[in-house]
Amino acid sequence: MSSKHPPHPPAAPEAPSDPMAVALGAAAQGAAAGEVPVGAVLLDAAGRILAVTHNRVEIDCDPTAHAEILAIRTASAMRQTPRLPDCTLFVTLEPCAMCAQAIAFARLRRLVFGAYDPKGGGVEHGARLFGQPTCHHQPEVIGGVREQESSVLLRVFFQSKR
Ligand code: ZN
């Protein structure tokens, strides 16, 4: 075969078909490093990965080093802009209020998360940040994507800590 123009060119390798699988992989890496297993993937409008992160609270001795914050920081630094309005964030757990506010500040287009977090979430629970009048950007929100796998990672992690 020497055709230079295949009828169906393969998708770019950096555009994953299942970003939540990538986020779950990052969460598992975090757990192996002793972090609460939360993983995040930030994608541009074409579905290319800008950042893959997991929590680094213990590693960095930084209470703000949640996966979502680190993904936004990485992509913003790469693009040299504090606003990422074309981007979608996949994260394995419902973001806390701090991360929800960072998502609003970054003006992300869409948030996709895995497990709901009644104890610490700030999107569908607690602060319900995007519904507050003081929040000036509301991303599209899709929750419960591969919720079971994310929950199992967290449960196994916390069981191992007891
Ligand atoms: Zn957070």
Residue 139 Cα to ligand 1 middle (Å)? 16
Place of tokens 């169906």: 8
Catalytic residue among 14, 35, 58, 68: 68
Q: Which residues of 103-134 are buried (b: 16+ CB within 10 A; e: fewer)?
A: bbbbbbbebbbbbbbeeebbbbebbebbeeee
Is residue 140 flagged as an active site residue?
no
Give me the sign of the Cα torsion angle 32, 35, 38, 42: negative
Residue 96 Cα to ligand 1 middle (Å)? 4
Q: What is the rounded CA–CA span in Å between residue 108 and residue 77?
A: 15
Residue 5 Cα to ligand 1 middle (Å)? 46
Question: Rounded to the nearest 10 degrees, what angle do helices 147-161 and 19-32 cross at?
Answer: 0
Per the structure block, which two tokens stand in for 81? 């802009």
Mean pLDDT of the chain, nearest integer: 93
The whole-number pLDDT of residue 17 equals 83
User: DSSP assignment of 86-148, as one string?
Assistant: T-EEEEEE---HHHHHHHHHHT-SEEEEEE--TTT-SSSSTT-GGGSTT-----EEE--TTHH
Residue 99 Cα to ligand 1 middle (Å)? 4
Q: Which residue has the higher pLDDT, 53 or 11?
A: 53
Q: What is the greatest pairwise CA distance in the chain?
A: 60
34-77 pLDDT, tens digit per residue, is: 999 999 999 999 999 999 999 999 999 999 999 999 999 999 99
| pLDDT-based confidence at residue 162 (cuts at 50, 70, 90) | confident
Residue 11 Cα to ligand 1 middle (Å)? 32
CB 19, CB 43: distance < 8 Å = yes
**Per-residue pLDDT for 7 more than 80?**
no
